[in-house]
Structure 1
Amino acid sequence: MEYAADDTLLKFPEGTYRLNTGPNTHIELDEYDALGLVGENSNVTFKFTSGTDGYKDIDVTNIGNFVYENIDWDITANDCAPGFAVRARDHLHIENLAVRGRQDKNGGFTLQPGIANASGEGYIKNFSATDGCEIGSVERNGVLVASGRNNGTLRFIDCHLEEFSNNGIYAAASGGPIQVEGGTFRNSEPSQLRFSGEGSYVDGATVELDISKMPREYGEQIENARGIWWETKNTTPLRSGGEIRNTDVVMRNAGPPPLEETSPNSSAGILIPSGGVTIRDSTVRMDITPRPAIHAQGPLQSDLPEPYRVVMDNVTVEGSANDWAAVQIEERPGSVIRGCEFDIGYRNGIVLAECDDSTVENTTINSRYGGGRPIVLWGTEASIDNVSTNSDNPLPDGSNGDSIYGPSPVGGGGETEPREDVLTIDSGGSQVEYTVAASEGIEKSTANGASIEDSDTISRSVAVGRTGENDPDSYILSGELVVLDIEGDATVTLGGRRVEPNGYFDNVVTVNGEDSRSEYTLATSGVLNKTGANGATVDNNDTVRGSTAVGEVNDDVDSYKFSGELVVLDVSSGVNVTLNGRQIDPNDYFDNVVTIDGSDSHAEYTLTTSGVLNKTGANGATVDTNDTVSETTASGQVHGGIDSYKFVGEITDYNISGSADVLVNGKPI
């Protein structure tokens, strides 16, 4: 913006302001001590045009104190889903921002806030985006707090988010506390709120899955929804703890009309896979069979700091769901349930599995039919005091349970849902080689009977290995599965559901410039796309055309997922480059790729380079026998097709007879 400067407040009078943003046109604000954008009244709107980038259409970086207030967004244009990325050093204040319009662009986020300094604070108040996106066809975050973007405290006050396909607020990798006060979070997948950690809390919010409240015809099934996903990941150290208080969580309908056909893949009202939590003065309603209202899984991370117990104080659990358990807590010693009231329908009430030294006291557990066991102990000694029930089944005496109390829900036993982030490769006894990459992180696991082998290696978020003769291999993924390459015959499941490797990319290449700066060019023989694997940022200044990427790293990391082979790799300085987690030498690859694109035309050509030249399938090219290479000169023709060559040095001469586009490293010449 032309008038942006230090210690400046930019005021916008009443009216609508057209913003022509897009992949190459962003509003960038950085390197100021203090800056504000404020509407003078409640009738100020930024109207975005078609072709927005989806990530950083408004990009605020390295500003000491930043204020944005009383300016709404109109995103009703086609191909319009702008992203607001803002990272202040010390203080951030966003208030009264309403987003009007349904986001129809895949990838990215609506808001990505962050505070650089641990002592800093950010306030997001009255931020609403209730039209969301088309779940099932468009992938969008409502709010994303990405790994490494936030070290301070972020507080969300009276916000309202609905119908996002990649979480309402996704802040599991935040390095500082996330605090939600009031607000409504409804009908997003796979969760409405997703974070945890000391100092984090949800207070006075409404968290809901209820498709009958969607204001439009809904054709896609929400297949895998949670209310609150109390999770931490990718922080150093890992974060544990926090509170959920004075909050209503409701899980009613999870399938398309007729709404009675609920989705069996939807999860708990409150799912706790990692950090500890205190839940108090709250109500959780679960109407989806067979899912528990509250499910604390065994902590996923081996180095998770204590406490990771679960405390429930004055919590009401209700709903019509049946089967297994209303509340299930696994491997959380010292957990406490007190002053609670459970209406368990026709199923078990509380299951404590491997939770020694736990307590259930001053609690009522009633069944409408008198069936189900009020408390199930498995591998657990617990104190049970002043618990009332109308169940026909007795309370346990507090000692270790045995088979009469049912199978173990830990480690795959019992009737419990598979963990959504567990990937298992089962080759049925044969040896199969594989490459797996996640968008944020990956770690080995013994889930589903897997073995952990030293020969299976992990580099950041990429795993390369081989299945054993008897046991499968399993991994816990953070973020999304982005690369899956299987050399051989194997069954692959993610969250218990089978996935086909053909639906994923085969490789990931990473340019690591965390301690340096470098420009680079890379090209592959197949499809190429950006990814956040290995801690990478997805930047607008890095461009992809066909299967050629040109960009730069400057104290950050860039990654690309691709099929085929890496055919070109040129870097301007000595940065570290890895392919599927293994370091590679750019000197082993060609430096450039030239493409003659005659997709809609016919042309004959001759080109000469100053160095080695060879054919390649990069950028969708075919490798034809009628195109010839003699030392450093190539001759051929394109007729409704594409030819590409990888080479070292420069193009010293070329001649085109006919009509075709010629590109070097993705740029027309």
Structure 2
Amino acid sequence: MTGIANERDADDGRSTDFEQLPGTETETKTDTRRPARRTFVKGAAIAGVSAIGLSSNAAASGSYTQYDGEYRHVVNVVEAGADNTGNRSITPVLNRLRNDNTLFYFPPGRYAMDSQFRFTKFDNVAFVGNDATLVPANYYNFDGPQYRLFRLGTLSRPGKKLRFEGFTVDQTAKDTGIRTIDTVVTDRLDVEDVRVKGEHDSGTMGPARFDVIGSNGTGRVVGFKAPDGGKNADDTPHAGKTSSRGPIGILANGTAGELMFRRCHVGGFPGSGLYACNGPGKIIVHGGVYRNSTSASIRIGGADSVVRWPTVEIDDVDEKYPSHRGIRVERGDVTIKGAAIRVSDPSPSNHAISVLSNCESAWIENTTIEMSGNDVNHGIVVSPGAGETTIARTNITHNAAGGYPLWLRSSNNTDRVHCEYLSIDGEAGDASGLRDGIRCERPNVRFAACEVDQRGRDGVKRNAIVSTSEDLSVWNMTLRASHFPIVELGSNSSYLEVDAESYSGREAACLYDQSHKISIRNSRLVNGVRDLGSWSLELSSNTTS
């Protein structure tokens, strides 16, 4: 896949399909020193040493008191020596305080970081900010691996339970774009109210990676916001040094458990917005705003994964990499419910929804799609190898310069596509000859109680439905078009109780010589049928006015 390569896990040297790095990462710190640190901090807490800010019970202070009883220790990082004026890096203090079963509390202030804080194989750790702002150093002044602020768990040494919440990350200074948090946990992940301010402009890995690798593990990422997006790698310090387009907004490609993203906001990134499709687990996207990312603003897969009620918008594309799809469905079984997708700055592959060939099944329901702009584009595109697909109670308004609101691409795959209460309207053009409301090139497709209205922009010739395959079933469908409502070039198609009319006074249906075994019954076919040589045609109980 473009922009995706191998990210090396520094603990075991294994490569995993995550994200293209600017270079090979080499950790300068090893795990051999950490057990001694943990022992020291734990021992100090037992001994009641207060100079490092540890206590055996949670103190009543600010935003963390709701977690009383969940952690054996609470560390006020400022009392423990961390500078909250933004003048000195806090990473050395965090390294000294690293400990299990501990909540690290960040009082109000600005916390500079000029090197990575790395904590692996931890158990029950929390980082809680109260009006706390993290300030990363300039890329050129960042010590050690220049990719992350917090690396919490790795594939070979994952953590168990992690909480991270209540931080603003100030990346408004030049060349300060960096991954805020990189997590690998087995049991439980809670991330909440983290906002990244400023464009990710250093060319390194994007703002966040979250993976719950335990099959029974659960995670929730609530209110993670990176609305300012990221720069293309060519416009960063890594220009010419990487094959990657640039950072991904949120990466979650190794989840085996269940991971929810709720009310997140991801701006335009050159390497996808939310990329969560390669793990075997369940991904849930609940609400949120996803905008203008290359490849896809939401790229999702997994077992019984769900995208419900997000807002997806494409109104500003990267001219170097113009493909900006709304939702890209791949792998496993995925349901999309209540999505609102608006594409107003399209280029030829900015489909609103793409169902890819390695998707086992897809269900799209109660979704609204609006397409406009001066280029050819398509609404929902189902790829040739995609499994069973259902589209229900969905509206597509297509006002682009050309293209198909619904395109079922050419395939021998007989997994059913079923559309029910689908409404397609708008006034599209006919650029590049792509002028059909529904382009059906796939066998075993069913339409029930649907409506298609293709008036055409400035009087251009648009068809309502064109079939080139076999075993199409159309029932109780209203078809209106400026050219032909029905065009048949396939076989074994059945039309029952259809109401079809051409705005230009043409026949309701046009059948070509390659079409055969077409049945149209109990239908209203205004001006009848134009038959250009089809064979085994059945017309029964139809009216022509």
| Bin for the TM-score computed over the shorter chain | 0.5 to 0.7
**Alignment partner for residue 406 of structure 2, among 327, 332, 335?**
327
**What is the deviation of 1:221?**
5.4
- For each residue in 1:509-536, what CA deviation from the matched residue of structure 2 results, as whole angstroms up to 9, or x when unmatched? xxxxxxxxxxxxxxxxxxxxxxxxxxxx
Say whether the 8 Å CA contact 1:378–1:405 is kept in structure 2. Answer: no
Choose the corresponding residue for 1:381, options 453, 471, 490. Answer: 471
Counterpart code for 2:380: I
1:27 corresponds in structure 2 to 117
Does structure 2 retain, via aligned residues, the 8 Å contact 1:4–1:10?
Answer: no
Tell me, yes or no, if structure 1 residue 134 matches structure 2 residue 241. Answer: no
Does the 8 A contact of 1:273 with 1:297 survive in 2? yes
Q: CA deviation at 1:122?
A: 1.1
Aligned ranges 1:586-665 → 2 under 5 Å = none
State which of 435, 455, 460 in structure 2 corresponds to 1:368: 455
What CA deviation, in whole Å up to 9, does each residue of 1:446-502 have, x standing for no partner?
A: xxxxxxxxxxxxxxxxxxxxxxxxxxxxxxxxxxxxxxxxxxxxxxxxxxxxxxxxx
Amino acid at match of 1:278: W
Unpaired stretches in structure 2, ≥5 consecutive residues:
1-93, 237-245, 429-434, 494-508, 516-545
* Alpha-carbon shift at residue 403 of structure 1 (Å): 10
Asked if 2 retains the 8 angstrom alpha-carbon contact of 1:70 and 1:95, the reply is yes
Q: 1:152 aligns with which of 257, 260, 283?
A: 257
Against the structure 1 CA distance between its residues 222 and 373, is the aligned structure 2 distance closer, same or farther, given a 3 Å change threshold? Answer: same
The answer to whether the aligner puts 1:280 opposite 2:280 as a matched pair is no
Between 1:172-181 and 1:367-376, the stretch displaced more is 367-376
**Native 8 Å contact 2:117 2:151 kept in 1:** yes
Deviation at residue 208 of structure 1 after TM alignment = 0.7
1: CA distance, partners of 2:119 / 2:354: 38
TM alignment of 1:241-390, pairs within 5 A: 241-254=333-346, 263-264=347-348, 266-274=349-357, 275=359, 276-288=361-373, 289-299=375-385, 308-330=387-409, 331=411, 333-346=415-428, 347-356=435-444, 358-369=445-456, 371-390=461-480
1:137 positional shift = 2.9
Q: Quote the offset at 1:134 in angstroms.
A: 2.1
CA contact (8 A) 1:340 1:362 kept: yes
Query: Residue 78 of structure 2 corresponds to which residue in structure 1?
Result: none
* Corresponding residue number in structure 1 for 2:184: 87
Q: Which residue is 1:456 aligned to?
A: none
Work out the CA distance in 2 between the residues paired with 1:50 and 1:120: 36
Is the Cα contact below 8 Å between 1:95 and 1:127 reproduced in 2? Answer: yes
Contact 1:348/1:376 (<8 A) preserved: yes
Aligned pair partner of 2:148 in 45, 56, 64:
56
Tell me the CA shift for residue 220 of structure 1.
Answer: 4.8
Query: How high is the TM-score relative to the length of structure 2?
Result: 0.64
Partner Cα distance (2:370, 2:513) in 1 = 24
Alignment of 1:173-188 (within 5 A): 173-188=278-293
Deviation (angstroms), 1:78:
2.8
Shift in Å, 1:70 = 0.5
**CA 1:310/1:9 → structure 2, altered by over 3 Å: closer, same or farther?**
same
Per-residue CA distance 1:535-572 (angstroms, 9 max, x = gap) = xxxxxxxxxxxxxxxxxxxxxxxxxxxxxxxxxxxxxx
* Contact kept? 1:314, 1:338, Cα under 8 Å: yes
For 2:477 and 2:204, the matched residues in 1 are separated by 49
CA distance in 2, matches of 1:33, 1:107: 28
Shift of the alpha carbon at 1:195? Answer: 1.4
1:218-248 Cα deviation digits (max 9, x unpaired): 985551111111123xxxxxxx221111011
CA distance in 1, matches of 2:384, 2:195: 39
Task: Encode CA deviations 1:430-455: one digit per residue, 9 max, x unaligned.
Answer: xxxxxxxxxxxxxxxxxxxxxxxxxx
Q: Alpha-carbon deviation of 1:297?
A: 1.0
Q: Is the 8 A contact 1:251 1:285 kept in 2?
A: yes
Q: Is the 8 A contact 1:123 1:156 kept in 2?
A: yes
State the 1:153 CA deviation: 1.3
Aligned CA distance change for structure 1 residues 187 and 317 (closer, same or farther; 3 Å): same
Output the CA distance in 2 between the equivalents of 1:67 and 1:406.
Answer: 66
For the residues of structure 2 that align with 1:405 and 1:94, how far apart are their CA atoms? 59
- The secondary structure found in structure 1 opposite 2:277 is coil
Please identify which structure carries the higher strand content. Answer: 1
What's the offset of the Cα at 1:47? 1.0
Sort the Cα spacing of 1:18 and 1:382 in 2 relative to 1 into closer, same or farther, 3 A. same
- Asked if the contact 2:113/2:149 (under 8 Å) is kept, the reply is no
Instruction: Say if 1:329 and 1:355, in contact at 8 Å, map to a contact too.
Output: no
User: Is 1:111–2:208 an aligned residue pair?
Assistant: yes
- Name the amino acid aligned to 2:133: T
The CA distance in 2 between the partners of 1:68 and 1:97, in whole Å, is 8
Counterpart Cα distance in 1 of 2:272 and 2:425: 29
Closer/same/farther in 2, CA of residues 374 and 16 from structure 1, 3 Å limit: same
Runs of 4+ in 1 over 6 A off after TM superposition: 405-408
Aligned position for 2:27: none
Q: Tell me, yes or no, if the aligned pair for 2:398 and 2:427 is still in contact at 8 Å.
A: yes
Q: 1:312/1:192 Cα in 2 relative to 1: closer, same or farther (>3 Å)?
A: same
Deviation of 1:280 (Å): 0.4
1:368 deviation in Å?
2.4
Contact 1:48 1:77 in 2 (8 A): no
Q: Is the 8 A contact 1:123 1:157 kept in 2?
A: yes
Show the counterpart of 2:484.
393
Match of 2:173 among 77, 80, 83: 77
SS of residue in 1 equivalent to 2:393: strand
- Whole-Å Cα distance in 1 between the matches of residues 290 and 485 of structure 2? 39
Could you say which residue in structure 2 is the equivalent of 1:561?
Answer: none
* Partner AA of 2:451 in structure 1: T
Between the aligned partners of 2:338 and 2:107, the Cα distance in structure 1 is 39
CA–CA distance in structure 1, aligned partners of residues 480 and 313 of structure 2: 29
Aligned equivalents of 1:352 and 1:28: distance in 2?
53
Match of 1:200 in 2: 305
What amino acid maps onto 1:100 in structure 2?
Answer: K
Equivalent in the alignment of 1:611: none
8 Å CA contact 2:138, 2:176 repeated in 1: yes
Structure 1 distance, partners of 2:283, 2:325, is 18
Please point out which of 324, 327, 331 is paired with 1:225.
324
Q: Are the structure 2 counterparts of residues 223 and 76 from structure 1 closer, same or farther at C-alpha, using a change threshold of 3 Å? A: same
User: What displacement does 1:405 show?
Assistant: 6.9
Query: What TM-score do the two structures reach when normalised by structure 1?
Result: 0.52
1:164 and 2:269 correspond: yes
Once residues 324 and 106 of structure 1 are traced to their aligned partners in structure 2, the CA distance between those partners, rounded to angstroms, is 35
Aligned residues: 370
Distance, in Å, in 1 between the alignment partners of 2:100 and 2:136 is 26
Task: Give distance in 1, aligned partners of 2:197 and 2:391.
Answer: 38
Q: Following TM superposition, by how much is the alpha carbon of 1:63 offset from its aligned partner in structure 2, in angstroms? A: 1.5
Identify the structure with the greater helix proportion.
Answer: 2
Asked whether the equivalents of residues 44 and 72 of structure 1 are also in contact (C-alpha less than 8 Å), the reply is yes
1:38 equivalenced with 2:137 (yes/no): no
For residue 102 of structure 2, what is the amino acid of its counterpart? Answer: T
For residue 394 of structure 1, report the CA deviation from its aligned partner: 4.0
- Asked whether the 8 Å contact 2:178–2:204 carries over to 1, the reply is no
Extract unaligned runs of 5+ from structure 1.
Answer: 212-217, 233-239, 255-262, 301-307, 409-669
SS in structure 1 at match of 2:330: coil
Q: CA deviation at 1:404?
A: 5.2
Measure how far apart 1:15 and its partner are. Answer: 1.0
- 1:377: how far off? 1.5
Helix, strand or coil at the partner of 1:31: coil
The share of aligned pairs that are identical, in percent, is 24
